[in-house]
Every structure is written in C-alpha cells, then in structure tokens.
Structure 1
Amino acid sequence: MVVGDLAQEVDVIVIGAGPGGYVAAIRAAQLGKKVTIVDKDTVGGVCLNRGCIPSKAFISAGERLVGIQSAGEMGIEVSGEVQVNMEKLVAWKNGVVKKLTNGVQQLLKGNQIEVVSGEAYFSGSNSVRVSSDDASQTYKFQDCIIATGSSSAELKSLPFDGERILSSTDALNLTEVPTKLVVVGGGYIGLELGTAFAKLGAEVTILEGTKSLLPGTDSMLTKMVARKLKKLGVKVVTEAMVNSGEVDGDTVSVEADVKGETQTFTADYCLVATGRKPNTSEIGLDVAEVQLDERGFIQIDKQCKTNIDHIYAIGDCAGGDLLAHKASYEGKVAAEVIAGQNSEIDYQAMPYVIFSDPEIAYTGLSEAEAKEQGFTPVTSRFAFQANGRALSMNQTDGFAQVIADEESKQVLGVQIVGPEASTLIAEAVFAVEMGAHVDDLALTIHAHPTLSEALMEAAEGISGHAIHMVNKKKK
C-alpha cells in the first residue's frame, strides 16, 4: 500500500538518527518544536551501531586479555592458555549496542519525537519524501536538519567484498580472530582496530601511505604509540601505496609500492580503513538546491545553515573533523538557532581522542600553532613514570603536556599520551574553553593518587613550581 498523497506538516524534520541527528531532534523538542526524525537504518547511526561503541568494546576486550596475560608481573598467576571466543565477544558487543540504541529510542519517545524508518529524499526546498518497503509519505517542514553522516571510503584497487576484504563494519562482525590481518590505512580507525586484533592474537601488518602513523597528529604523541605497537608485534610499513588486492580462497594478497619497491602482503583478512566519505549523494540535495563542496560535503556557516536559510547540516556530512561529539555539538547549535537563539559553532576547545595504546588525546593549540597565531608559547611536560597511580596500574608510558602563553600564562593547549588520556582530556578542554590561567589548573586540588595529578604537575611546571619533577631553569 502506498500512502502519502496528503503531506504531513512538521516544524522540524531531522534526516539521520546518529549522534548528531538524535541530539538535534531532542534539543529542538526541548525548545518546543514538533519534530520528526528519519533514518533508513536504526537510531544511533554508525557511531553507536557500527563504529565508536562496538570498536571500543573490541578494544576493551583486547586490553582485558593483555591484562590477564601480563598479570604475572603483579603476582597474579594464570594457569593454562587464555582463550578468545569471538562469537561470544561479538554477542557481548552487540548487547552493549542494543542497550544504547534502546536507550536512545526511549529518549526520543520521552521527548515526543516521531521516529520514521525509511529513506529520505528532498522533493523540494520545503519537503521531504520518505520511502520504506511498503509505504511512502511526504513531510512538509519549516526547518530541516541534515545529519546523514559518512561511510567507509572504498579503494578502487581494493574494493570491499565483505568476506576477505573488509570495511571497519565488516571487521567488527568477524566471528574468528584472524591469523594474519593486513590493515590498509594507519589513521585512527586502522590503528585502533589493528591494535585490538593484535591483542586478541592476530599477526597484524599496517600499511600507511604517508611517512608516519596517524597523519596530522603530533609526532611526539605518535612515537610512544609506535613503540608500543612494536612490543605487540605489529608491523608498520609507511610510504606504502596500495596497487591492488586479490582474493584466492581463504587468502587475500595486497600488492603495494613501498618506497619505490613493489611488495606483496598476504593474510587471511584485509581491513581497508583509508578514510570516510559523506553520505550526501542520494538524498536529493540538488532538488533542494543545497550546495556541496568539491568533496561532496555540505557547505555550512557558523550557525550550521546551508545556502538555503531553513536547511541545516551537521556532523560528518558537513565536513570538518569527523567526530561524533562534534556532530552532537553542532546538532544542539542548529536546534537552538531554529528556536530563535543566537547560537553558533566554536571549535576552540575541541577534544581529539585516539584509542590507541597508549591513548592519545589533545585539545587547543599545539606549540607550532600557538607560534603561528602570534603567541610566545611555553611548555611543561610531566611523565606518567612519576605518577603513583600510573605505577600502581603498571601503565607508565606517556606524559601530559601543557602549553601556555609566556606573558599571560593562559592555557593554550594540552596534549596527553598515556593511560586514560581519553578521560583526562575533559579537564583540559574545560581549561582551554574558559581561557584558564595555568594557576587555575595548578591551584586546583587534585585527589591522590590519580592520573589527573599529571595535568596539575604539568601546569605547575609552567611557573617552575612542579613538585614531583625537576623544573626547567628559567632563562
């Protein structure tokens, strides 16, 4: 049966129910708007269902396994070989995802948001047609928020087959630990999943086209990660440009030019993690006359508006850093603007987190960026080797570094590599966001023994007053 001859009218329609879309829908509903949210899949988007959450579940499992295997250093002896049951691991991961998606569904219901399953296509600048297997309905809106996200970018020379040549989504549904795994791409997705599978027992080789892992990340942070990868037995090949891949039964061979020499890498699985592309090509943006840039991302201003005044775009489909928390933040801004508030996006203190081993997290300006912006930066670094909590956890790799302006002592940026960096960065984000003086961090009493003391000590080091390290002599 086909319905929908009569358009339904809504205040706001949100296309995409990921971490940007569902947050935007809830905020708009909180501000008094009648909201409909549409997704062709399920609530939570890629992040919750096939990305952030399931990958971190795998990472946590890998860390737990390594912890058990190394427990002997603490006097905890484990007899016999520790086994990994991938089917149970995947089932547990799916259970985590289900709990979260159910939670989001209840939040949408509690905020009286209509949830529609189907594919959305613009039929004009004020209307969207949503089609499912057995129905079709047109919605006429006052405002629209596009939150369609992104998907794995496929290499023409190494197309996904879902069996041996895998996207990140495919990899997270494997029911066996690969004996050998080739990872094409040394960015954060390839690195995180490659590390997780290495800890679960796979022999991992990472092929990265540039000169170093995690392109765009400060080398002082990545060196620590590269060192740990070596300990885990992960082989990292840089300046490796993939030419082709071939599947033969249960084997996949990847051919790459490595610094001018052709090499072949053989494994039972190949994970391709070479970036993501915006989901903007099949929703009728041309009909709505919404402008895209040359890479297919939707162009927006500081209020998340497109060139069409009442159509907004947020998250991955709008470009910039492809981060779930950035999408959620932009979703709130777009909803608030629609409700008449004077909100706009400000990325001054955006947190960046890589769940590598050890973890990497940073916010604000790097030392080089501070110089470019006219500051005279001073830095102070405190090593986790001198932190009591890190020692008691047997996780002492890494450091916390604070960058401040020499004259004003304003905190400009913070970089952390080490245990729980993903959690520790929150305090640093707050400091950069509020334009804190280093003494705001240094004079805040931090509980002992905790990892957060490293940030306090680094801040004290700016003024030459750190207690648990030798301070730099002032020039």
Structure 2
Amino acid sequence: VARWLKKEGDAVESGEVIAEVETDKATMELEAPEDGVLAKILAPEGSTVPVGAPIAVLAEEGEEVPEDYVPEGVAAPAEAAPTEGASVQPAEETPSPTPAPVAPQVAEALEEEEELALKPAGEFDPEGEWDVAVIGAGPGGYVAAIRAAQLGLKTVCIEEKHLGGICLNWGCIPTKALLRTAEIVETIRLHGKELGVGLSQPRPDIKQAVARSRKIAEKLSRGIAYLFKKNGVTHLAGRARFAPGPKLVVETADGEQEVRAKHVIVATGARARVFPGMEVDGKHVITYKEALVMDRVPKTLVVIGSGAIGTEFAYFFHAMGAKVTLLEAADQILPLEDREIAEVVRKSFAKRGMTVITGARVQSAAAQKGKAVVEYEKDGKAHTLSAEACLVAVGVVPNTDDLGLEHTKVSRNARGEIEVDAYYRTDHPGVYAIGDVIGAPQLAHVASHEGIVCVEAIAG
C-alpha cells in the first residue's frame, strides 16, 4: 500500500481514487466501489498485503464499525514493525534439506561461472559521481536502475522518451489492451446467443479501444516514475551517447551535460525492422506504432510477418472488421513456435475467414494512389496485393546506432547487437548491455532478469 489519499472518517464517492497500491511492475489507483465513508483502514501505508485481501472498510454514513473489527475470513493484522532499538527475538530456523549431489559437469560449469563473476569488471569512470548510469528505461533499464538503488548504488536512469520503454508504451501492454477488446467483440459475435447476450453483431469502436489502450499505457508509465522516486533513482530526461574520451554525454532540454558514472548499462532496446523495398509512410504502409493509434479500421489490411507482433495485429484488426491477409516468408506462421502450435493458430485464422499465405517472399510494399501495394513471390511466381493499409511486422533491430559506441571498445555482431558475457559485460571496462539491444530472446521479462543479474554482479 503506497499511499492513502483519504483518511478514516472521510466521505468517498463511487469511482473516487482513495489509495495508491504498488505491485512489482507499477502502481495502481484504487477506486471506491460505492458511495460511503472510509470507516476503517486495515492496511496502513507501507504495509504489504496479498492480492485480493481487503485493505479498508467502507460503511454507510452513521454506521459504526468496532475498533477491533476484522472482516470475516481475514486474519487479524500483523503487529507493527518494532521501533528502532527494540529487540527482536529471532524465529526458530527450519533446517534446510540436504542438497542432492551435483553432476560433475554441472559442478564444473558452476565453478567456471563463479570464477567469471569474481573477475573485476573494471570501471568506466573511476572518479564518477554516479555508481551506475542506465541508458534507457524499458523493462530492462528501469528494473536494473531500481535494483541498483536498492543495493545502495547511487543511480541515474537516462531516458529520452517515455518511462517504461516500448513494452509499456508501444508494445506488450497497449497491444494486450487492444486484444482484450478484440476478444470481447469476438465472444459476443460468435457466442453471444448461447451466453444469453442478444447482440449478435457488436459495433466495435476503434477510437475508444485505442483511447483505453493509451490510458493504460500512460498509467503504467507514471507508475515507473513513482517507483523511481520511492527507490531513490534519479531520472534524467534526454538522449545519451558516448563521446570521445570516452565519456557519457546527455542532450537535455537545457543543453548538453556530462554524466560521470563508474558503471554504464546500455538498455536502449530495439525498433521495428524495415527491409529494403518496404517504404513506410505512416499512413498506408505502417509499423506497430501507427497501428496502435489508428482512428479507423481499414476495410482491407495486409500484414507482412507472422511473428508475435504480426499475428496479434492480424487478429485484432480482423475482430474489428478488417479483411486481413497475412504473409509469411517461412513455411509456417509463428516460425519460432512449435509446428503444432502454429498449425492450431493457422486453422483458427482460416476458420475466421482470414487469408494466410506462407512461403511468400515480399519484394516491395509502398503507397500507390491512396492504397498500399504489396508485391511478393511464391513458388517462383510473382503476385500483387492491394489494400487500404499494410502493416510491416518483420521483427526488430537493436538501437545501437547513434550511441557513440565507436568511441568505446564495445563490440557488436553482424546484426548490430552488442556482445556481452554471462554477466552482461561488454569489451569496454565498466560498460554493460541488457535487453533487446543484445539480441534474442527479445522479451520484457528476460530483459528485467538480465538487468537484475547485471546489477548484482556490479554490486558484488
């Protein structure tokens, strides 16, 4: 429970925000479910309670609630933490079970890993004012920054756009909000009658769906700002890059400033990949960013690429009323998944009336006369598709350009991904990299875990 906005005895209205509750990822506003009086607070600020547990009692005006009242089925609140200087009797320890023997090859690997962890990581700037500077505030960067601060390291996180990165603002979170809308629309359309809902043809409103999606993203982004404040992380708004020296400089609204840090973590994420011949104009040929804020549903849509991004948007726009064609260069959709899973999804899409074409190698995609025209090759034959819009979803590329890495010893592979060791150290002393910028698997929870491992290695 992060903060109470009302105190006991205050009148509240239905929908009024009465408290802020913190979870692992962000903070949420808790609204009063009905009009009444906040009669009793069961969980004070700073306390931790299980998900679903009551934290307060709302009563009708004039209704009395006993001082020792505890809702039925809820354990009495734990005693307050002892004040400074008070003695605490340690709880009896439960003996840990004897660990099973470790296979010799596993033991050797663990020893090698331990030796690697104990090697000095070096420092980027031994005289640095900051212990850790994190470039990027996505799921890898913000988690790394928070963990560093929790470990007592003086930490600054540099982000030029929105806290939360692509995941919270333009990826995982807003797309799932849109998919929820699509799910409800499809449920009513396909199963409304059997569920007792007399609306067989729902009228989806993409403007409202997008507005809800953006509101959710903005709320979670604000939650990151709160977590930074709570954990003592300094947020510096601006674009960071390495300069000759090397040194770390940041372009802010007030001009350029140098950030001196002993350790620098690069967590700049990735952006949409666009192959040669694909001319994104933001209107007819688009990427996921434009797809997330469209104000109308195209009558026809071609989606190039059937990975997670392509299949999600294909499903969403079909549910919203578009006629969708999905193109995939591989011989199955969802090429990174098991063939059995991919086949289930393909059949599901076909059953819905979507067109799925595998083995299609796209040659070009461009706007022509107010339409998106896509040319592709399949089985040695050329084909052309015309649609109101074309979504390019052919993966992502790491954001390593314009970082000034040429002024460091940091190595990149042929795909532009930063090369690191098991503890995310680069070839330059004191410089680390985590998340999408180091390559697959490019997933939010993976980036967060990498951030924790990296920072704990820095802290020793």
How far off its partner does 1:294 sit? 1.3
State the partner residue of 2:293: 173
1:131-170 alignment runs, 5 A limit? 131-170=251-290
| Helix, strand or coil at the partner of 1:321 | coil
CA deviation map 1:342-364 (0-9, x unaligned): xxxxxxxxxxxxxxxxxxxxxxx
How far off its partner does 1:141 sit? 0.8
Q: TM-score, normalised by structure 2?
A: 0.71
- Asked if 1:191 corresponds to 2:311, the answer is yes
- Asked if 1:222 corresponds to 2:376, the answer is no
- Asked if 1:110 corresponds to 2:215, the answer is no
For residue 266 of structure 1, the aligned residue among 354, 377, 386 is 386
| Helix, strand or coil at the partner of 2:391 | strand
State the partner residue of 1:59: 179
State the partner residue of 1:122: 242
CA deviation map 1:213-268 (0-9, x unaligned): 11131111111111100111111111111112232343111111111111111110
For residue 202 of structure 1, the aligned residue among 301, 322, 325 is 322
For residue 253 of structure 1, the aligned residue among 368, 373, 376 is 373
State the partner residue of 1:325: 445
Q: Any conservation in 1 of the 2:279–2:367 contact (CA below 8 Å)?
A: no
CA RMSD, 1 decimal: 1.5
- Asked if 1:35 corresponds to 2:155, the answer is yes
1:349-428 alignment runs, 5 A limit? none
Residue type of the partner of 2:310?
Answer: G
Between the aligned partners of 2:409 and 2:312, the Cα distance in structure 1 is 38
| Helix, strand or coil at the partner of 1:77 | coil
Between the aligned partners of 1:307 and 1:124, the Cα distance in structure 2 is 17
CA deviation map 1:385-436 (0-9, x unaligned): xxxxxxxxxxxxxxxxxxxxxxxxxxxxxxxxxxxxxxxxxxxxxxxxxxxx
Residue type of the partner of 1:259?
Answer: D
Residue type of the partner of 2:225?
Answer: Q
Q: Any conservation in 1 of the 2:411–2:427 contact (CA below 8 Å)?
A: yes
Q: Any conservation in 1 of the 2:302–2:390 contact (CA below 8 Å)?
A: yes
Q: TM-score, normalised by structure 1?
A: 0.68
Count how many residue pairs are aligned between Structure 1 and Structure 2. Answer: 334
How far off its partner does 1:321 sit? 0.9
- Asked if 1:309 corresponds to 2:429, the answer is yes
Between the aligned partners of 1:329 and 1:199, the Cα distance in structure 2 is 34
Residue type of the partner of 2:424?
Answer: C
CA pair 80-213 structure 1, distance change in 2 beyond 3 A: closer
Q: Any conservation in 1 of the 2:284–2:371 contact (CA below 8 Å)?
A: yes
CA deviation map 1:369-392 (0-9, x unaligned): xxxxxxxxxxxxxxxxxxxxxxxx
How far off its partner does 1:144 sit? 0.8
CA pair 123-9 structure 1, distance change in 2 beyond 3 A: farther
Which structure has the bigger radius of gyration?
2
- Asked if 1:19 corresponds to 2:139, the answer is yes
| Helix, strand or coil at the partner of 2:277 | coil
Instruction: Structure 1: state its 5+ residue gaps.
Output: 1-6, 341-475
| Helix, strand or coil at the partner of 2:232 | coil
Residue type of the partner of 1:321?
Answer: P
State the partner residue of 2:95: none
Between the aligned partners of 1:133 and 1:218, the Cα distance in structure 2 is 48
Poorly superposed stretches of 4+, deviation over 6 Å: none
State the partner residue of 1:238: 358
Residue type of the partner of 2:392?
Answer: V
Residue type of the partner of 2:173?
Answer: I
| Helix, strand or coil at the partner of 2:403 | coil
State the partner residue of 1:91: 211
| Helix, strand or coil at the partner of 2:203 | coil
Residue type of the partner of 2:384?
Answer: T
| Helix, strand or coil at the partner of 1:20 | helix
Residue type of the partner of 1:137?
Answer: Q
| Helix, strand or coil at the partner of 1:70 | helix
How far off its partner does 1:75 sit? 4.0
State the partner residue of 1:277: 397
How far off its partner does 1:68 sit? 1.3
How far off its partner does 1:78 sit? 2.1
How far off its partner does 1:70 sit? 2.3
State the partner residue of 1:337: 457
Q: What percent identity do the matched residue pairs reach?
A: 38
Between the aligned partners of 2:224 and 2:246, the Cα distance in structure 1 is 27
